[in-house]
Amino acid sequence: MGPTTLVGDVGGTNCRLALAERNSLGTIELHHSERFAVKDYDHFNDVVTEYLSHQKLKPSRAAFAFAGPKFDDEIRMTNVDWIVSEENLVETFGFKEAIVLNDFVAMANGATVIPDDGFDTLIPGKVNYNKPVAVLGPGTGLGVSCILPGKPPRIIPTEGGHTAFSPQNEIEMQVLAYWLKKLGYVSAETLISGPGLFRLYTALCEILDEPAICIREDEVVAAAEANPKSVARKTVVMFCDILSTFAGNTAFTMGAVGGVVLAGGVTRHVSPFIAESNFKERFRQRSHGSWFIQDIPVRLMRAHFVALYGAAAMVLEN
């Protein structure tokens, strides 16, 4: 079978499109992957048009994962002014079928099928998909979904990244106070995301009365690697701490006794600093609630393009 299914993973910063097929072994393969900067396009349809102009084959079906909630047949992106509907995609591009879904639904769907070597273990234990499993991760925003047991598993999309930030020590309270004055409301996503990492750095420079050496978010991790005593290093370690607290909060809220999976490029970038943070303690130490969370495993997804595989699985027959 030729690669006639178009799949996409669309975040607030980048959009990746590819052609997908199932091979003779039943495994999904991706071909002709391309990445596009979201800021360069007025609408998602413009990205699809450009991508298809590069391909010789015309896909008959499509499945796209977006960073935003789905209402009826359309996605409203959270951090980009794009609205994309299944009906419009079919009418515009002549697909026989088009599916739009939340990106962390696709991420969760992909997490259930990638092999064990696609993960790192942060807190020991085997993820059990016969029980609820939380999948979350920072990117341009903070995605959250829940996998419920079933055949096939049921995946619940959420907007959990917009819940309130939960500081757990004095300096985190100062960070909250700093951003409350500027924003009025500080969500978890405000600080646990790519832009959030830079917001955290900005606040710590002010609180610690240190000059801000980094002027862009992509400089913070590099500065942290270069100087173990820098504000950037303190920032990234704190980021790991508050990510862990949020992961634990999500496990409690969803009853995710089957495990927690951390995903996304930002998580991979900060992962070398997790060992230096209080990740395990922040996840597990919950006063009277500690008994519930002690045996919940936490894994970090190392595999790339998981959302693309998860989207493809929505339309490709086994």
51 in the same domain as 35: yes
Tens-digit pLDDT profile for residues 99-121:
999 999 999 988 888 888 889 99
Give kind and range of the element (H or E) at residue 223.
helix 220-226
Between 165 and 118, name the one with better pLDDT.
Answer: 165
Q: Is residue 283 part of a domain?
A: yes
Say if residue 188 is in the same domain as residue 66.
no
Give buried/exposed letters for 95-110 (b at 16+ CB in 10 A, else e): beebbbbbbbbbbbbb
Structure letter (DSSP) for residue 42: S
Which pLDDT score, from 0 to 100, does residue 317 have?
64
What is the domain-level CATH number for residue 54? Answer: 3.30.420.40
Residues 191 and 73 in one domain: no
Residue 10 has pLDDT above 80, yes or no: yes
Residue 173 in any domain: the answer is yes
Dihedral pair phi/psi, residue 90, rounded to 5° = -65, -45
Other C-beta atoms lying within 10 Å of the C-beta of residue 189: 25
How far apart are alpha carbons 114 and 118 in whole angstroms? Answer: 6
Q: Are residues 78 and 181 in the same domain?
A: no
Q: Mean pLDDT throughout 121-131?
A: 95
CATH assignment of the domain containing 198: 3.40.367.20
pLDDT digits (tens, 9 = 90+) for 18-30: 999 888 777 888 9
Please check whether residues 166 and 100 belong to one and the same domain: no
Q: Which domain holds residue 171?
A: 161-301
Quick one: 254 and 272 in the same domain?
A: yes
Q: Is 127 among the domain residues?
A: no
Instruction: Give CA–CA dist 280/292, Å, rounded.
Output: 14
Residue 243, in any domain of the structure: yes
* 296 shares a domain with 181: yes
The number of domains in the chain is 2
